[in-house]
A and B are shown apart, each in its own frame.
Chain A
Amino acid sequence: MRHAHLASLSAEARAEMRRTERRFLASAAVRYAILIACGFAMIYPLLWLIGASFKTNHEIFTEIGFIPGSPTVEGYIEGWKTSTEYTFTRFFANTFMILIPKVIATAFSSVLVAYGFARFDFPGKRILFAILIGTLLLPNVVTRIPQYLLFRELGWLDSFLPLWVPQMFAVDAFFVFMLIQFLRGIPRDMEEAAMIDGCKPFQVLLYIVIPILKPAIISVCLFQFMWSMNDFLGPLIYISSVAKYPVALALKMSISVTESFEWNRILSMTVLALVPSLVVFFLAQKYFIEGIATTGLKG
């Protein structure tokens, strides 16, 4: 009797366990199904872009699905040639000519300014900081024409200088702010120890602060990289020679109001234009997330 009871109990228990397991599986299945569906919906435009770049022009607007019926690389080949005197090789080279100095200058100047604001007391600091943050709120449109006039007086139009030089003066208040927030979360003990050991402020920056700041600096570089890659208006206004156009301008070159244009070429080149940002992002992803997470700012 007792034995039978035990057996039945364990059978019941086993059934209960199986039920729990089933319930768990079912809920996991539902959760993953929802996640996969949402994830797919989010990534669908990107998949469509890649798929459409292999489609023919007629197919792009008539078929909803992203898998091309008769895949062709014509868009890539013809798109690369462009309708200008140059190929996309030139435009990609220009983009990096603009990007690399810009990113380096941003990292360098932003760190220096952020270090100053976070670690030193100097007269007028509060006002200067308020002004710095104030520029965050200033719409770019307001400064466009005065800046243009300034660069004209300097004779820098139609060169990359208007795109590089401002970055050497930490003009992106957002980055400075991000770095300051990061520095605020770091105890000063190590810096003080270094000072006691005889470090000058600049050495503290170089040997202590910069290594600690590394994830945040990488985030700054990444942001600047992606934003500059997409920057359209800056090059549009300052660069007048087609020979100096970056990719962002070149992509829009074929889009006109009255002419029909080859969408598959534009889409193909858009896909290629996304590649550098994606590669850099995935390479630096670990630091990027860390940098954003620890500053308490969202990207």
Chain B
Amino acid sequence: MRYLSVLASALAGGLFATAVAAADPIEIRMSWWGGDARHKQTLEAIRAFEAKNPGIKVKAEYTGWQGHLERITTQIAGGTEPDLMQINWPWLPLFSKRGDGFADLAQFKDVLDLGQFDKALLQTGTIKGKLNGLPVSITGRVYMFNPVPYQKAGLEIPKTWDELISAGAVFKTKLGPEYYPLDTTDLNPWYAVVHYVTQMTGKSFIDPESDEIAWTKDELIKGLEFYVMLEDKGIIPNYQKTSAEGGNRLELHQKKAWIEGRLGGSYEWDSVWQKFRDPLGQNQDLIPVKTLMLKGAKSEGLLRKPTMMFSISRNSKHKKEAALLLNYLMNDPEAIKILGDSRGIPASKVAADLLINQGLVTKQVAFAHDIVMKGGAPQLSTFFEHPKMQELYRSTMEQLSYRKITIKQAADILIDEGGDILAKATR
């Protein structure tokens, strides 16, 4: 009986708390995922926004990365999502197939300065003519090398694919069989193929207009042959090797071989430079370089994409206030300085200029970002990173690396099953 009354009072406490929260005048909710730095900086920016706009209170709902998709999916299914949400770019088509899953940001032009954003970039957040997500930052894959193993092998950091390929044999004879000029973690085997074929053909894997696979089987086979050659010549460790060292999906900064300088470099998003640089310590370094080129390449074939979007809920009662907050976070110098590069180098022109001119971005990150922005990159389809496509890339490359399937079979799987996934996802 006694605990019943405790329970009853606890229940009442819970109810009371929700009642109070709902009584505030204008409250907008904002959600994001991230790490320590992003949490701190975003909270600070929100407080600065509240100070400027006394009528609006912002409730921050943030989590780590894990589970954020489940959380936002449930919220959207229940119509209880926050007013302003950080949405991963590949999630956009999951929630807004016909462009009506989120509010159309173009209608808030008077409070939200879209002129700071590149037209082509805004296109990546547009579904069926409606601007569903405002790209926060752009990222691209850049080759980054650790100069230490190269120096030990008496080599320069490679500038072309040929130099990289010839480094394989030198690494093996001068440094030992455990040394590789390039690493391939998780989706990197597939990105190597993508990079090769995109340079060769100038086309991206999925056509951004029709959302169908753009490469022919023969083109894909050439790319897969290139990958198998990299494995065979010891340029990159194969899956057998990586799974012996903790698994193919173990990220670079957690790999012993990376920290100890047995891996010469990697092809990574420019935004993660810091994360992979940190564990290398004082004696090593991580240098981003201009993209490696094939002979006769039609394009630099860079993989460039918006990282994440900000979207406004279609059910929001305070869309305009949410747009005001979004504009503040993206375009207001005060917020830009607070936020820094906690979400990558901003896509907003005023923000990117301010950060780079004032030296608020690490030099190497700014340099890597410059490579990404200036290089040729065919537009990516929103479906390129669809979770099901990613699973297909992963499993096919793994089977190929273990030689469970032939190159031709792998090409068949990628094109046929990939086509099915796309057909279902776009229907």
Contact = CB atoms under 8 A, between A and B. Distances in A.
Interface of A: 57-58, 61-62, 82-85, 97, 101, 104-105, 144-145, 148-149, 152, 155-161, 164, 232-233, 236-237, 240-242, 249, 252-262
B39 interface: yes
Interface string B30-70: 01011111111001000000000000000111111111001
B306 to A, nearest CB: 13
State the main secondary structure of chain B at its contact with A: helix
Contact of A255 (B35, B43, B256): B35
Contacts of A157: 18, 78, 80
Nearest to B276: A260
Nearest to A105: B7
B259 interface: yes
B67 A83 contact: no
Given A164-B7, A232-B67, A253-B36, 14 more contacts: A57-B278, A62-B259, A82-B36, A83-B40, A148-B78, A159-B14, A237-B74, A249-B63, A252-B66, A254-B35, A256-B35, A256-B64, A258-B275, A260-B274
Nearest to A85: B43
B11 A253 contact: no
B14 A261 contact: no
16 contacts: A58-B279, A58-B281, A83-B35, A83-B36, A84-B43, A104-B7, A158-B21, A160-B14, A236-B67, A241-B61, A253-B64, A254-B35, A258-B269, A258-B272, A259-B274, A260-B253
Contacts of A253: 36, 39, 62-64
Q: 6 closest A-B pairs (Cβ-Cβ)?
A: A256-B35, A83-B36, A259-B35, A252-B64, A260-B275, A159-B14
Given A149-B78, A252-B66, A262 B36 contact: yes
Contact of B59 (A82, A97, A241, A256): A241
Given A256-B38, A259-B35, A62 B65 contact: no
B29 A240 contact: yes
B274 A61 contact: no
A236 to B, nearest CB: 5
Contact of B80 (A82, A84, A152, A242): A152
A219 to B, nearest CB: 19
Given A58-B279, A256-B38, A155 B64 contact: no
Given A85-B43, A255-B65, A152 B70 contact: no
Contacts of B67: 232-233, 236, 252
Given A145-B77, A241-B59, A159 B64 contact: no
Q: How large is the interface on B (under 10, 10 to 19, 20 to 34, 35 or more residues)?
A: 35 or more
Interface string B260-291: 10000000010110110011010000000000
A237 B65 CA distance: 14
A165 B260 CA distance: 52
A222 B130 CA distance: 52
A82 B14 CA distance: 25
Contacts of A84: 39, 43, 62
A57 B254 CA distance: 11
B237 interface: no
B262 to A, nearest CB: 12
A148 B81 CA distance: 12
B71 interface: yes
A289 B17 CA distance: 40
B61 A240 contact: yes
B179 to A, nearest CB: 17
Interface in B68-86: 70-71, 74-75, 77-80, 82
Contacts of B61: 240-242
Contacts of A149: 77-78
A62 B38 CA distance: 27
A190 to B, nearest CB: 24
B64 A61 contact: no
A83 B78 contact: no
A55 to B, nearest CB: 13
A228 B319 CA distance: 37
Nearest to B41: A83
Contacts of A256: 33-35, 38, 64-65
A62 B7 contact: no
A101 B18 contact: no
Contacts of B10: 97, 101, 160, 164
B3 A104 contact: yes
Contact of A61 (B11, B80, B254): B254
A275 B233 CA distance: 50
B325 to A, nearest CB: 17
Contacts of A62: 256, 259-260
B254 to A, nearest CB: 6
A148 B80 CA distance: 10
Contacts of A148: 74, 77-78
A10 B353 CA distance: 99
B11 A164 contact: yes
B71 A236 contact: yes
Contact of A242 (B60, B65, B66, B82): B60
Nearest to B255: A61
B340 to A, nearest CB: 12
B189 interface: no
A232 to B, nearest CB: 6
A233 B66 CA distance: 10
A61 B250 CA distance: 12
A259 to B, nearest CB: 4
A199 B74 CA distance: 49
Contacts of A82: 36
B303 to A, nearest CB: 15
